[in-house]
Structure 1
Amino acid sequence: METHVPTTDRDRLHSAVGERRWHAVIETLEVLWPHAVHESPAELLEVLELVPESVLDERPRWIRARDVLRSRATAELTPARGPRTVTARIADLRRAGRAHEALALDDARRALLSEVGVDTEGERAELHYQWARVLEDVGATDRALAEYEAAAGSAGTRRMRSLAGGAAALLAALQGERARAERCLHEYCDSTEPLGGAASAGLARALLRVDALDREGARTLLDAMEAESVGHRWALHLFVRALADREHQGPPHRPLRAEALHGTMPSAPSPSELDTVRIARYLLHTSSGRRDLAHAALGPSTGTEGVLGHLVVALRALDLVRIGRPAEARLVLAPLRGRRLAPRAELLMLVVSPDRSADESERIEALAAEHGLYRILTLLPDGERRRTGSRLAGLRTAVPVPCLEPAVTVVRAPLTSREREVAEHAALGESTADIAAALFVSANTVKTQLRSVFRKLGVSSRDELFAALARAPREVPADAWTVGVAVPRRSATAAR
């Protein structure tokens, strides 16, 4: 086939393809494209069909270029059926936001894995990796983690070992499996990998530091990451950044920078990305004291059944417990009881539960000690947190457990049962009209009771109401007390 493409560039291209140096292939295609797209499109398509999907994931422009060449190709130029075709189909459905449809290809994938050799041009590792991306998108993080490990273990190139190994480390850290995450980082991750491998590994290391209450160390790692290097890890980057910045007392630029990353959200985010953003928004809003917005950020339902979905459910229950609605919190947590949960989700569920048995308290200590999930313990009530910290210290667990929430030192004048009910609805962000409809009263009644609530709790807006309710007792005797000071009972005349 005649072409005006310089022979030296073509030789360089075919040499890079033969040696499977895919970054060099892409760089050479950048040079050849203006001429070859018109004069030798079949040759370009043949090369692009050989480039692994994981490489193209990081360079969407070449995915579009391949699609254009495919649309122009004649029937005889269509690639033969085989591992690459199935892998490409899985990747195409995932990129189009149709990961659930890709699950139907599981039988074909399994059949190919039984046929493809371990070192057949990296096809086995690529198939594992793309399937892991699909499972991660639909929220099956435990199965995705196993597939990433399989991809890293069967990879014939350093690039795939780093890419898949970094992803495995990040999901292991997300699940709360510290030992597994550290093993993946040690065995597979090359910090020089320029694409997703380094980003995933960096986020894994930062999350492990957050869990160990080393937020400054986590922020240092995150600050060293360039936003453009995060790629498809944008949602988990936002999540880890929000965790690291929570309760941060320094300049506000870090949380805002994390929120700005939300602008990179794709047009069709996956269910797991949506759950990740829900949690990140919740953390960012609670850090700024906007509990009403935080609760609203979690939404009424979750799109996944994996660790992220379970975390969303547990956080909803935490909000209900904090405003004194334990019965509703128990109902919210009920679907998680008796299920096999990831360590992070199980520990959070036990910590936010409104009541715990002795066995569950022991389980909290065991999970924290085994997986280093100390940050979640900061959500425990003061007394229980101190007791748990003391017992962990006795186990020679040398990690401090500082206070996250301020100790309850002042209890203001109590609320009537109806005022409490109105306040709880308002703290969760419901409008005056919605509260009135729920309680079968008029909107003016709701407004009057809210003014009384604000006065008694010493708050000036709904933004402050959530935290105040967490400190106010739900039921008090007729004679109410503040700390150390008796509040005189009103006379019958004053009551009237």
Structure 2
Amino acid sequence: MFLPMNGAGQRAHDRSRSREVVPAPAPIERIVEAQSRGDWESVTQLLEQHWSSLLRTSRAAMREVVNALPDAVLEAKSRWSAARQYLNFAPDDGRVRRVRFDFEAAQPNEAGELIDDLAQFTGQTAHERGQGHFRGAAAFAATAIEAVNGASPAEVRTLRPLLPGLRVQWATSLLFAGDIRAALTEFESAYDDAVAFDSDRMATAAAGSIALVHSLTGDFVLARSWLRRQPTALNGGLGGPGGGDGGPGDAVTVMGVLAAANIAIDELNVEEARAWLAKDPGDEVAPEQWALRLGVASRLEVLRGDPLAQSLRNRAAIRARPAHLSEDGLNGCALRFSDVGIRLALKDARGAAESLAALEAGDSELHRQAALIAHVWRLVRAGEHVQAVAVMESVPAGGRSLRVGMELLAAATVIHMRAGATARAAALFRTLTTMVAEQGFNGVLMRFGDAEYEALCLSSGVQLNAHQVRRALIAELHTDAPAVEPEIKLTARERVVLRHLLQSRKLNDIATLEHVSPNTVKTQLRSLFKKLGVSSRDDAIKVGRGNPGLWSDSGL
């Protein structure tokens, strides 16, 4: 039962309420308020600052504001004309809109039917890509590109302000389908159009995506060049991860951030790679890049010596999504290639072989190149040098990316070194280190054992700046985890329990997560300890860390 307040109580209550924190107005509210004052400079600044989030949360209101921009604003910056046309036909939420293009709200044009078709194709390619149907997405993108290529000069003039954003969508679909050559062509066209029409965001998206592709293929000179061509107002170009506002980027900057992190990893610059990944906006803001960020993070963990933790994170991320999102295109390539690297680092031969088989089953150029690198190094590590040479010789020199060329050169150096051909190995090493110095691909030097590397530096007379960094990282990678007999076979339930132990979970937590009683978990632990030949959780964890084949199911 509530009693009425006396006068003093009421005044105290009023003072308390007056001190309550008033939430800050949402960006769209601030924009509408600035519009009501006629403050168009603030309107455009706020639109630019919150563009990505507004597209997700307030697209309809955003469209009304942009349609109300006065002619003076449109004439001062042509990108607002493009933004107006884009918002009036862009699909909402990745789906094809039921209504046709709104001709009255947009600028007069001579490409009405074509714009309408491109809106439909673009919506379909984004929708298919979001569902993980990458080949279907690429087919719609190719249809849209063909339509533009067949457009009349008058139609192209009308379309050009719109093309940067459209081309980025089409190129992204081609890239995720694994067609990197066609994707690069379209990203480059998008960049040129974006620069011509003062669209900093689309220029950043295109340049960052191009840089990422070149970082994957090993052309780091080109990758860095494209990062420098990004508008510095958005992410600091190549000024370092501290550029810009210091916080995470958004969906437009994510590809450039991942490219910069990937380059830093290949330079053996662990701290810079971490700093770049800290600027990655994450799955919530840029969900399409989830597999790419796992791939980059996996390379970093293999380099810095904690691949087991990343393997568990990858497993959780993959299982949280529909299977088709990780089986095809660029996603499948990134996940499988990173998993091969993790398995090799953990000395899990069976898991590496299974992930390699899945990688080799892919039909894109990226799949073929990644599978070639993984296959050759797996053979070299196993001492199967004749087979490794046969695989290397089966690939024509013209079909090798820079990354593949340097990886195979390193593998050939190791093979000659182990065969006693010291002079030939030294000559190959000199050629390799020349390429490493040109491209900054220091990561390939981690392929050599410590003794081999020291001997090659001595015999070739080469000394690289990365020498001390490499030695420090090699020391970090040392592990003294006990090995177990290969014939030990754990049951499915024992593997599950071991994975929980590796994630530092207590007995009661495991029971809750697995929907069983604590006594059941105790029984499984006793059986697990007996098979591993240990008597404590800590010892079981040590064995698990050194022998991932015990707890992995298959590949990923």
Q: What interval of TM-score do these two structures reach, taking the shorter chain for normalisation?
A: 0.5 to 0.7
In 1, Cα distance between equivalents of 2:120 and 2:461: 49
In 2, Cα distance between equivalents of 1:51 and 1:291: 52
Equivalent position SS for 1:385:
helix
Counterpart position of 1:85: 117
Residue 200 (str. 1) matches residue 255 (str. 2)? yes
* Counterpart selection for 1:319 from 373, 378, 395: 378
* TM-score (norm: length of structure 1): 0.63
Give the 5 Å matches for 1:9-408. 27-29=57-59, 50-51=86-87, 62-64=93-95, 66-67=96-97, 80-83=112-115, 85-86=117-118, 88-89=120-121, 92-93=124-125, 95-96=127-128, 97=133, 98-102=136-140, 105=143, 106-112=145-151, 117=156, 120=159, 122-155=161-194, 156=197, 157-189=199-231, 190-191=234-235, 194-227=249-282, 228-249=284-305, 256-263=312-319, 265=321, 268-269=324-325, 270-300=328-358, 301-353=360-412, 355=415, 360-386=428-454, 394=463, 400-402=469-471
In 1, Cα distance between equivalents of 2:402 and 2:62: 50
Equivalent position SS for 1:204:
helix
In 2, Cα distance between equivalents of 1:118 and 1:212: 43
Cα gap change, 1:143 to 1:375, in 2 (>3 Å): same
Cα gap change, 1:218 to 1:395, in 2 (>3 Å): closer
Give the 5 Å matches for 1:413-452. none
Cα gap change, 1:392 to 1:203, in 2 (>3 Å): farther
CA contact (8 A) 1:285 1:294 kept: yes
String of CA shifts for 1:264-314, please: whole Å, max 9, x gaps. Answer: 655643422111110122223334442321221122524244244302222
Cα gap change, 1:174 to 1:118, in 2 (>3 Å): farther
Aligned residues: 383
**Counterpart residue identity of residue 168, structure 1:** I
Report deviation, 1:94: 5.8
Report deviation, 1:405: 6.5
CA contact (8 A) 1:235 1:277 kept: yes
Report deviation, 1:91: 5.3
Equivalent position SS for 1:188:
coil
Using the aligned pairs only, state the percent identity: 18
In 2, Cα distance between equivalents of 1:239 and 1:93: 24
Q: Identify unmatched segments of 5+ residues in structure 1.
A: 1-7, 34-46, 71-78, 407-422, 427-459, 467-496
String of CA shifts for 1:390-421, please: whole Å, max 9, x gaps. Answer: 66955777874337768xxxxxxxxxxxxxxx
Equivalent position SS for 2:399:
coil
In 1, Cα distance between equivalents of 2:402 and 2:307: 33
In 2, Cα distance between equivalents of 1:332 and 1:283: 19
CA contact (8 A) 1:212 1:375 kept: yes
CA contact (8 A) 1:87 1:126 kept: no
Report deviation, 1:172: 2.0
CA contact (8 A) 1:148 1:168 kept: yes
Cα gap change, 1:11 to 1:225, in 2 (>3 Å): closer
In 2, Cα distance between equivalents of 1:378 and 1:329: 18
Structure 1 window deviating more from structure 2 (233-242 vs 110-119): it is 110-119
Cα gap change, 1:220 to 1:50, in 2 (>3 Å): closer
Root mean square deviation, CA, Å: 4.5
Cα gap change, 1:352 to 1:264, in 2 (>3 Å): farther
CA contact (8 A) 2:250 2:281 kept: no
**Counterpart residue identity of residue 139, structure 2:** E
Report deviation, 1:63: 2.1
Report deviation, 1:182: 1.9
In 1, Cα distance between equivalents of 2:408 and 2:153: 39
Structure 1 window deviating more from structure 2 (395-404 vs 218-227): it is 395-404
In 2, Cα distance between equivalents of 1:52 and 1:310: 42
CA contact (8 A) 2:250 2:280 kept: no
Report deviation, 1:342: 2.1
In 1, Cα distance between equivalents of 2:170 and 2:407: 29
Report deviation, 1:175: 1.9
In 2, Cα distance between equivalents of 1:251 and 1:315: 16
CA contact (8 A) 2:339 2:352 kept: yes
Structure 1 window deviating more from structure 2 (271-280 vs 102-111): it is 102-111
In 2, Cα distance between equivalents of 1:293 and 1:116: 54
Q: Identify unmatched segments of 5+ residues in structure 2.
A: 1-30, 64-82, 101-110, 236-243, 417-423, 476-485, 488-542, 550-556
String of CA shifts for 1:327-351, please: whole Å, max 9, x gaps. Answer: 3323433442323322112212322
String of CA shifts for 1:3-41, please: whole Å, max 9, x gaps. Answer: xxxxx979979x989x996655665445699xxxxxxxx
CA contact (8 A) 1:148 1:165 kept: yes
Report deviation, 1:166: 1.7
**Counterpart residue identity of residue 332, structure 1:** V
Cα gap change, 1:335 to 1:147, in 2 (>3 Å): farther
Give the 5 Å matches for 1:484-495. none
In 2, Cα distance between equivalents of 1:235 and 1:384: 34
Equivalent position SS for 2:380:
helix
Cα gap change, 1:278 to 1:31, in 2 (>3 Å): same
Structure 1 window deviating more from structure 2 (240-249 vs 354-363): it is 354-363
In 2, Cα distance between equivalents of 1:263 and 1:464: 22
In 2, Cα distance between equivalents of 1:12 and 1:387: 70
